[in-house]
Amino acid sequence: MHNLNFSHPFLNKLIAYKDLNCLVYKDKTYSYLELLLEVEKYIGQLNNLKGIIGILGDYNLKSIALLLACIEKRLIVAPFLKLKNQDFKELEDKIYEGQIDYLYDEGRFIPYQSKQLKHNLIYTLQNHSSSGLILFSSGSTGKPKAMVHNLDVILNVYQGKKPKVMNIVLFLMFDHIGGLNTLFNVLGMGACGIALEDRKNIEALAQNIQKYQVSLLPASPSLLNLILMSGVKEKYDLNSLKLITYGTEKMSDSLLNRLKLEFPKVRFHQTFGTSEVGIAQTKTKDNMIKLEGMAYKIINNELYLKSKTQSLGYLNADNSVFDEEGYFATGDL
């Protein structure tokens, strides 16, 4: 019997799930044991690499295994979504702004060994032997901002998750805080993630929900609207769905009411998050929304947020959006 042993508590937690399914990718099912054996292979490869690792991938076994191996080795990792029509200029910009040393793509570690001196936030994580995560803002307002997180702090949230065998769609992106939140939730519970090859293919999504008896669907309001408009509910059995979480954009009351009519047995739950502060569950009472696990204040009609899982700061932008108390100015209200 293979003797698995990891020094990171989050990876050690996964050993108990070794006989369970952890991932369905391109209709192939993988167990937690297969995932962890793949993690061990990557740990061996990472022994010779120092610095920040970029992963060009998606929710496939190798990308997830490498992400976990970087966590075990207390490295800083930056996930990038691999696309059919990759914008290599944008990718190169992010590699530079994120101070990436190696980019993993299709089984190879491509050295970039960024020449610039590393940001103090990077040195702080490395000096404390903490695993780190670099995410990028959408870049809709100029160049993408590279923000760095202490990944050990984020993983603490999922460490206490109770085991729950269920199938969950991995819809939100691999390089998005919401997508990683779903992935870590899946792994923390010993659940199984159902990966989608084409996130815009509503028919394939419905087929997967029916085929794999998916009970949790994290989605965006626009995806949920497409599900209603496409008529897939009439073609496929979606009765396995118990919970739909939604965030990333505003949900109109009319859409939510239509969804509740179409899916009367499903609970709908709003999440709120930004790459800077992480993901929070919301509680609604008397038309007021409370963000769980997040402190907030309002100054001059601007919402300031603070959470345990928030970013340490930007690598390539002004950090004055984080005030002296550590609150992040969202620019929203």
pLDDT tens track for 124-179: 999 999 999 999 987 666 778 899 999 999 999 899 999 999 999 999 899 988 89
- Cα–Cα dist 314/295, whole Å: 20
Residue with tokens 């569950």: 281
pLDDT of 313 reads 84
**What pLDDT, on the 0 to 100 scale, is given for residue 286?**
47
Phi/psi at 242 (5° precision): -110, -35
Greatest CA separation found in the chain?
62
Mean pLDDT of residues grouped by 10 in the chain (333 residues)? 88 98 97 98 94 97 98 98 90 93 96 82 94 86 85 93 96 91 96 94 97 96 95 96 88 95 94 63 49 67 72 81 66 60
Let me know: does 198 contact 208? Beta carbons within 8 Å: no
Distance CA 27, CA 17 (A): 21
CA distance 116 to 94: 14
Q: What is the pLDDT of residue 288?
A: 45
pLDDT of residue 300: 74
Q: Which of 214, 212, 207, 150 is nearest to 182 (CA)?
A: 214
Q: Residues 118, 62: contact at Cβ < 8 Å? A: no
CB 175 within 8 A of CB 135: yes
| Residue of 274, 209, 277 lying closest to 244 (CA atoms) | 209
Alpha helices in the chain (DSSP H): 9-15, 32-46, 61-72, 88-97, 120-127, 151-159, 177-189, 202-211, 221-230, 232-235, 253-262
Tokens (6 digits) for 277:
């502060």
CA–CA distance, 60 with 326 (Å, rounded to integer): 36
Length of the chain as a residue count: 333
Dihedral, 197, 203, 208, 211 alpha carbons, nearest 10: -140
65 with 42: CB under 8 angstroms? yes
Contacts of 2 (CB under 8 A, 6+ apart): 33, 37
pTM of the model: 0.90
The answer to whether 187 touches 22, Cβ cutoff 8 Å, is yes
Task: Give me the half-sphere count of Cα atoms (radius 13 Å) on the Cβ side of residue 91.
Answer: 19
* The domain made up of 31-155 is a member of CATH 3.40.50.980: yes
- pLDDT value at position 287? 45
Domain limits of the chain?
A: 31-155
Closest of 176, 165, 130, 168 to residue 150, by C-alpha: 130
The position carrying tokens 């190879």 is: 108
- 206 CB-near residues (< 8 Å, 6+ apart): 227, 230, 232, 233, 235, 236, 238
Q: Quick one: pLDDT at residue 278? A: 62
How far is Cα 181 from Cα 189, in angstroms, rounded to an integer? 12
